[in-house]
Amino acid sequence: MIESVDSLNPFMHARGVAFMVDNCSTTARLGSRKWAPRFDYILTQQAFVTVDKDAPINQDLISNFLSDPVHGAIEVCAELRPTVDISVPANADFVRPELRQSS
């Protein structure tokens, strides 16, 4: 969680998801390329369509998610987060030009 918030998300914002995937380990790269289309299909062809049809929401799924013990582990991880932000500066030379802050 800490790596995602402080490192991966700013890195993806600075360089883009494709760059990050291309520079990951072989296992991570193959995994992301395998699961990304499946995740996209579930969202665009199933979840969004269901919401657009005003289908009833399965409240058991939501309550099961909210009561999952993983939230306690994430809370502990959040307490371990360093007090200093770890991020990619917006004016770094590897930041996409359209995302650079003008000075």
Q: Write out pLDDT tens, residues 20-60.
A: 788 778 888 888 889 989 999 999 999 999 999 999 989 99
What's the pLDDT at 19? 81
Return the C-alpha torsion angle 72, 77, 78, 81, nearest 10. 170
End-to-end CA gap in the chain: 32
Higher pLDDT, 70 or 95: 70
What's the pLDDT at 42? 93
Average pLDDT, the chain: 81
Residue spans of alpha helices (H) in the chain: 2-3, 9-15, 17-22, 26-41, 48-52, 59-66, 70-79
pTM of the model: 0.50
What's the pLDDT at 59? 93
Q: Is the pLDDT of residue 4 over 80?
A: no
Kindly provide the b/e burial profile for residues 52-61, where b requires at least 16 CB atoms within 10 angstroms of the residue's own CB.
eeeeeeeeee
Residue with tokens 């790596």: 3
Nearest to 5 by CA among 64, 85, 65: 85
